[in-house]
Structure 1
């Protein structure tokens, strides 16, 4: 890494962890006096987003701040170049051939892996459960999603993008994730694991870049708790390392533009983790089950002394690795719980494994 505070002079957003009893007007005065601009706050946890003209000016502000690091949709690492990731119309239903009227249901091997059909038959279809999906938004007009989305509560935390703006990609990540959770059982497309659950779409990542700010994700977590969400799903994440460097450019796999930042003369990563944890802890204390992707870098988390995955690595969050079958198309009865070749793993980090489609 070659970038330092001395070479990164353009404006950057930071996260200010306000100490003591929170007062937004007081925080605004403190930030202004330090040469910054207060943009917004999350009063419930005493955290604000602030802007400075440069990293240097922020570093010398005297405030307890850390860079608003990039959060992103985990990129799949280690996928063979020859892998065929497309499905043609002739593929579905072979095998198996259930005859279900949701015409892609027969490709949803994950439902068999988690015993979804048995659960449905026992009367457990998600009715009465509110699931907040923090992701890149979702297509609010999709016939499989619209019946279960709470349009009044869904919200975007990304400037200039509505929560229902799914971007140019027809396989929008947030739409895919929301559908895996609660696509309606309506004779069209797929069926969600909980086809009668209520979806609240919370956009913290751009549907166009796949990345966003940590502050937006924190704000979405707190909002989900405030509206009574039962579950928060976060198929997103970020890597932080105990070396003081932060990605603020939305380029998590390019470390050349990362910035070095210290708090009180010390590595700022610990402060960043503690600030992020405030949002997760607030939600957990309000009865929310928080679930996050463990990441897709094929890393043994038991044998890395520097890498931390957020939000998956926070104590209040359940970290989920990816599982899947091998050659399922040849044998639908094959074992479905192999660790995905790209998934992070390790007993010190992972709480559960789940079918690939549920965490990508």
Structure 2
């Protein structure tokens, strides 16, 4: 099954549980399998994309480029700062040849499907919300506060005290949050005022395309990135909704493959490098890196992917970029020693496997240096779908729970309301929605203290979070064990909420 990022880190409220997008191409043999079965002629296999890791120097990268060409590959791009080369090859043995080359630390295919885009079918429609026809103006209260027309439906804002925080600060335009996602419709009237085109690009394929509109979600029309962007920074402008940090800027770094909405390593590496080189302060990452739900360091190909992404993320952190990630929607305990993965690889034919998340991280949320976010519903309790794990979750934030946690009136849905392409609004739910609330709170902190480092920013998010104890009794929202989960830890730090639910008011005080 090929899972779209919508089903991995967020959920359409109108899509029945368990419905996913399906693609079947047949599993391609790995390089090691091909070698064991006899060496085919170079170029006999499907064209794949690879990352090749070497030392971070001009000399080492030049040598790696030469090794790629000698092995019959084509160099797409190279990052001397981190020693990563992106290449294409149709030789099934290309990865093994590169790993045997002098000076190469690791190399591996970023996918199991050929580079040709794969057709997919969207299932279901989001629950759209139209702005009111009459009185489409901000409601100014007696105390001077301004409410957006749809703000009464935004139960997450008071949960993290963002509505109170905005009376003190809405954030600074000197701070930009880059939405690494499926693209953002910056023409939306509730996003355009805060959108930074100069810090936006399309990184699909591994090379940043900064041409006008390349960062938008078209021609696919995926709404995921646009929804995330509104949660971060929809302005208080009398139109629609308010973001967690309505005064900061938001940019789009598109990384989803056309026709599949899959996020491959070369695109994510490009996104982190682009953010570092273009003055982005914070990235929001509401996805996992395809095609592996868990990418194993002890596999020759997959290990190279972990290495390349880790290098790019570490480099961007050194350049001052903080990273917020969504923990995932499978109700998994990421601190477990053993988990079953039945969805990987999701670009061809999945094969059931047992993994240890300590060896096989869910990228990027289990990589070092990120702020990993779990989801809460309208009652402030873990969302039924949210991943969890002691030591794996840093903080929690509202991501919705339309099944078991419905908000009080006038809110209409347990999902999170935000912007959609073509001027629309809709409710979605998932850790994809929780992450951008944390990215917005991080932007408020950065606005108050521009000198704060990524490491200190992550620490402040945890220190300022509201300690949230484990639920009393057994956590079993469905009553039949389907979404049961064990909360472990203390009132102040536990497996469901990490250090607690983020606090926007504390961020601006």
Under TM normalisation by the shorter chain, which class is it?
Answer: 0.7 to 0.9
C-alpha displacement of 1:152: 2.1
C-alpha displacement of 1:300: 0.6
Q: What's the counterpart of residue 332 of structure 1?
A: none
**TM-score normalised by the chain length of structure 1:** 0.78
C-alpha displacement of 1:314: 0.8
After superposition, the Cα gap between the structure-2 partners of 1:112 and 1:202, relative to the gap in structure 1 and judged at 3 Å, is same
After superposition, the Cα gap between the structure-2 partners of 1:25 and 1:303, relative to the gap in structure 1 and judged at 3 Å, is closer
The within-5 A match list for 1:85-104 is: 86=127, 102-104=148-150
Spell out, residue by residue over 1:183-228, the C-alpha distance to the aligned partner (whole angstroms, 9 max, x if none).
Answer: 1211112111111101121111146422132111111112111222
Q: What's the counterpart of residue 40 of structure 1?
A: 77
C-alpha displacement of 1:274: 2.5
- From 217, 240, 244, the equivalent of 2:294 is 240
Q: What's the counterpart of residue 331 of structure 1?
A: none
C-alpha displacement of 1:123: 2.2
**Tell me, which stretches of 5 or more residues in structure 1 are unaligned?**
71-82, 245-260, 263-267, 326-334
Spell out, residue by residue over 1:154-200, the C-alpha distance to the aligned partner (whole angstroms, 9 max, x if none).
Answer: 1111259810244454x610101111100121111211111110112
Bigger drift between 19-28 and 341-350 goes to 19-28
C-alpha displacement of 1:49: 0.6
**Tell me, which stretches of 5 or more residues in structure 2 are unaligned?**
1-25, 35-43, 113-123, 141-145, 339-355, 400-432, 437-509
C-alpha displacement of 1:270: 3.6
* Partner Cα separation in structure 2 for residue 217 and residue 342 of structure 1: 25
Between Structure 1 and Structure 2, the one with more strand by share is 1
C-alpha displacement of 1:304: 3.8
After superposition, the Cα gap between the structure-2 partners of 1:104 and 1:206, relative to the gap in structure 1 and judged at 3 Å, is farther
- From 117, 121, 144, the equivalent of 2:167 is 121
* Partner Cα separation in structure 1 for residue 316 and residue 131 of structure 2: 45
Bigger drift between 286-295 and 17-26 goes to 17-26
After superposition, the Cα gap between the structure-2 partners of 1:16 and 1:2, relative to the gap in structure 1 and judged at 3 Å, is closer
Does the alignment pair 1:224 with 2:249?
A: no
The within-5 A match list for 1:234-273 is: 234-238=285-289, 239-242=293-296, 262=300, 268-273=301-306
**TM-score normalised by the chain length of structure 2:** 0.56
Does the alignment pair 1:50 with 2:92?
A: no
Which SS does the other structure have where 2:294 is aligned?
Answer: strand
C-alpha displacement of 1:302: 1.6
Bigger drift between 269-278 and 350-359 goes to 269-278
The within-5 A match list for 1:1-360 is: 4-5=29-30, 6=33, 9-19=45-55, 21-23=57-59, 24-61=61-98, 62-63=100-101, 64-69=106-111, 86=127, 102-158=148-204, 162-169=214-221, 172-206=223-257, 208-238=259-289, 239-242=293-296, 262=300, 268-305=301-338, 306-307=356-357, 308-325=361-378, 335=379, 337-356=380-399, 357-359=433-435
C-alpha displacement of 1:54: 3.1
Structure 1 stretches of at least 4 aligned residues deviating more than 6 Å after TM superposition = none
C-alpha displacement of 1:303: 1.5
